[in-house]
């Protein structure tokens, strides 16, 4: 039976309120869970929540982990009203040597400073420019799919398309033969963020991630001098010229770090969401037809920025996909000192995490959470509005994804042109085998049957 949602307890509450023993998972259980944290972490969290409740402590030697479940836990950790947590220290443990100094790996004033400068590259007038630039690139990429209808694998095809888009919009270049090498660098670095053996030894996954990072440092770094001197409108050029109200600019190293992280987010996480969305529309052809009908009703071959919000059914299926397959399944933080939550006094210097993927599948909040049901996001039902932090595919608080609007725009642009060119389906009885971490992706590439319209 599911545990009730625990009330939050503010830091500084009387000790009498927090005297209960913290539910604790055993060390053997911790070690057994590690392999499943990559392939199917949701099953681990559901079992943990059912057995222990919304607050769980795990310890192995000197390492302490605190698991917080549910929307109130999301709000507590993401908003961090008492400044109890560090995002930098937690992400450093996971990806610090791979994605060093990206925006996600910054805290406090340093984070706010960098975010404010980077925000200039995501303002509405700039997004409108990206949208107009994106349309012909999407059309060209999707038209190439017509020759791939037999034995078509959606995931690698989408990776190729989103990488081409990211290179053009973020870097202002066409990759050509360099695309495969850059794509491999991204794959290796993302995979290395989950490596258990973190040594620079040839043949290890982590070693390949470090080599991938070194390739990207050289690749992006070689473009900076020209972009600082030019007047390009691509994102790299804007970051090279961006400055705060006090006239501060990014250093070359900071620009490279931000571009590596931005390109990874725009390429890998967008590909992940698009793949999951296409899979669900293949399994639910009635929704595929609804999306197609409203896109055709726009009356144009390309989608203008001003028409994005007219696509209501597209919004519903996108939100339902983000619920089932959020880009970030886990939000980790490091506790800076002892804190109190849910009636428990919890330790400092612990890895504290909440789980959007688990929250998005809680039966206490969602009707039939494992069923693809876009109508749950309709104005009539609005299941996601029961709690401010029930639906959190892009995190929340100061670390809300800066590229959220760009990602949603890109996904809608691609889907708009895709449904106008193709119908697609999966084989009878097919279920996509999913690796949920570090970023959700199909383990078989997602084979589709494409039918040109």
**pLDDT, position 11:** 39
**For the chain, domain boundaries:** 15-452
Q: What does each C-alpha distance from 206 to 180, 191, 195, 201 come to in angstroms?
A: 20, 8, 6, 8
Q: Of the CATH numbers 2.30.140.10, 3.75.10.10, 1.10.630.10, 3.40.50.2000, which one belongs to the domain with range 15-452?
A: 1.10.630.10
Q: Counting beta carbons within 10 angstroms of the beta carbon of residue 16, is it exposed (0 to 12), middle (13 to 18) or buried (19 or more)?
A: exposed
The Cα 56–Cα 45 span in angstroms is 10
pLDDT digits (tens, 9 = 90+) for 33-82: 777 777 789 999 999 999 999 999 998 878 899 999 999 999 999 999 99
**pLDDT, position 191:** 80
**pLDDT, position 2:** 41
**pLDDT, position 145:** 94
Q: What is the 3-state secondary structure (H, E, C) of the chain?
A: CCCCCCCCCCCCCCHHHHECCCCEECHHHHHHHHHHHHHCHHHHHHHHHHHHCCEEEEEECCEEEEEECCHHHHHHHHHCCCCCEEHHHHHHHHHCCCCCCCHHHCCHHHHHHHHHHHHHHHCHHHHHHHHHHHHHHHHHHHHHHHHHCCCEEHHHHHHHHHHHHHHHHHHCCCCHHHHHHHHHHHHHHHHHCCCCCCCCCCCCHHHHHHHHHHHHHHHHHCCHHHHHHCCCCCHHHHHHHCECCCCCECCHHHHHHHHHHHHHHHHHHHHHHHHHHHHHHHHCHHHHHHHHHHHHCCCCCCCCHHHHHHCHHHHHHHHHHHHHCCCCCCEEEEECCCEEECCEEECCCCEEEECHHHHCCCCCCCCCCCCCCHHHHCCCCCHHHHCCCCCCCCCCHHHCCCCHHHHHHHHHHHHHHHHHHEEEECCCCCCCCEECCCCCEECCCCEEEEEEC
The Cα 307–Cα 356 span in angstroms is 29
Which two tokens mark 9?
A: 């307890």
pTM of the model: 0.89
Are 293 and 281 in contact by the 8 Å Cβ rule? The answer is no
**pLDDT, position 411:** 96
The Cα 296–Cα 416 span in angstroms is 9
CA-based R_g, the chain, Å: 22
Q: What is the pLDDT along the chain (453 residues), one digit of tens a residue?
A: 344 444 443 333 334 355 578 999 877 777 777 777 777 899 999 999 999 999 999 988 788 999 999 999 999 999 999 999 999 999 888 777 777 777 888 999 999 988 888 888 888 998 999 999 999 999 999 999 998 766 799 999 999 999 899 888 888 888 877 888 888 888 888 788 778 788 899 999 999 999 999 999 999 999 999 999 888 888 899 888 887 777 778 899 999 988 888 887 777 889 999 999 999 999 999 999 999 999 999 999 999 999 999 999 999 999 999 999 998 899 999 999 999 999 999 999 999 999 999 999 999 999 999 999 999 999 999 999 999 999 999 999 999 998 899 999 999 999 999 999 999 999 999 999 998 877 888 999 999 999 999
Which two tokens mark 278?
A: 């296409």
Q: What does each C-alpha distance from 304 to 299, 308, 311, 422 come to in angstroms?
A: 11, 7, 11, 20
Partnered with residue 352 across adjacent β-strands are 66, 333
Which two tokens mark 377?
A: 């996001």
**pLDDT, position 100:** 77
For residue 438, say if its preceding peptide bond is cis, omega within 30 degrees of 0: yes
Closest CA to 265 of 120, 398, 154, 411: 411
């Amino acid at each position: 039976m599911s545990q009730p949602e625990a009330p939050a307890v503010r830091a500084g509450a009387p000790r009498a309120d927090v005297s209960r023993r913290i539910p604790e998972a055993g060390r053997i259980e911790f070690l057994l869970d590690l392999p499943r944290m990559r392939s199917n972490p949701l099953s681990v969290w559901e079992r943990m929540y059912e057995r222990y409740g919304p607050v769980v402590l795990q310890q192995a030697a000197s390492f302490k982990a605190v698991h917080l479940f549910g929307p109130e836990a999301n709000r507590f950790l993401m908003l961090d009203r008492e400044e109890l947590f560090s995002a930098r220290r937690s992400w450093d443990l996971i990806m610090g040597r791979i994605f060093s100094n990206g925006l996600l790996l910054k805290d406090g004033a340093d984070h706010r400073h960098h975010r404010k400068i980077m925000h200039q590259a995501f303002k509405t007038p700039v997004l409108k420019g990206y949208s107009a630039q994106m349309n012909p690139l999407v059309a060209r990429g999707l038209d190439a799919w017509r020759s791939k209808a037999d034995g078509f694998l959606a995931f690698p095809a989408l990776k190729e398309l989103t990488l081409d888009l990211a290179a053009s919009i973020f870097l202002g270049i066409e990759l050509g033969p360099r695309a495969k090498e850059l794509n491999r660098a991204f794959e290796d670095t993302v995979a290395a963020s989950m490596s258990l053996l973190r040594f620079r030894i040839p043949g290890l996954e982590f070693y390949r991630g470090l080599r991938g990072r070194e390739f990207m440092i050289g690749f992006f770094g070689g473009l900076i001098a020209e972009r600082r001197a030019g007047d390009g409108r691509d994102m790299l050029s804007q970051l090279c010229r961006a400055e705060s109200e006090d006239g501060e600019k990014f250093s070359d190293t900071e620009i490279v770090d931000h571009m590596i992280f931005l390109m990874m987010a725009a390429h890998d996480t967008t590909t992940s969401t698009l793949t999951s969305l296409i899979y669900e529309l293949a399994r639910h052809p009635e929704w595929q037809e609804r999306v197609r009908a409203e896109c055709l009703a726009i009356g144009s071959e390309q989608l203008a920025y001003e028409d994005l919000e007219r696509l209501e059914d597209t919004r519903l299926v996108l939100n339902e996909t983000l619920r089932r397959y959020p880009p970030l399944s886990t939000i980790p933080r490091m506790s800076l000192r002892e804190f109190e939550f849910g009636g428990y006094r919890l330790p400092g210097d612990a890895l504290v995490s909440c789980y959007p993927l688990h929250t998005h599948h809680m039966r206490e909040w969602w009707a039939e959470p494992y069923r693809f049901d876009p109508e749950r996001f309709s104005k009539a039902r609005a299941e996601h509005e029961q709690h401010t932090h029930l639906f959190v595919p892009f995190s929340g608080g100061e670390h809300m994804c800066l590229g959220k609007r760009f990602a949603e725009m890109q996904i809608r642009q691609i889907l708009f042109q895709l449904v106008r060119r193709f119908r697609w389906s999966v084989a009878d009885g097919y279920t996509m085998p999913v690796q949920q971490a570090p970023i959700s992706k199909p383990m078989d590439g997602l084979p589709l049957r494409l039918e040109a319209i």
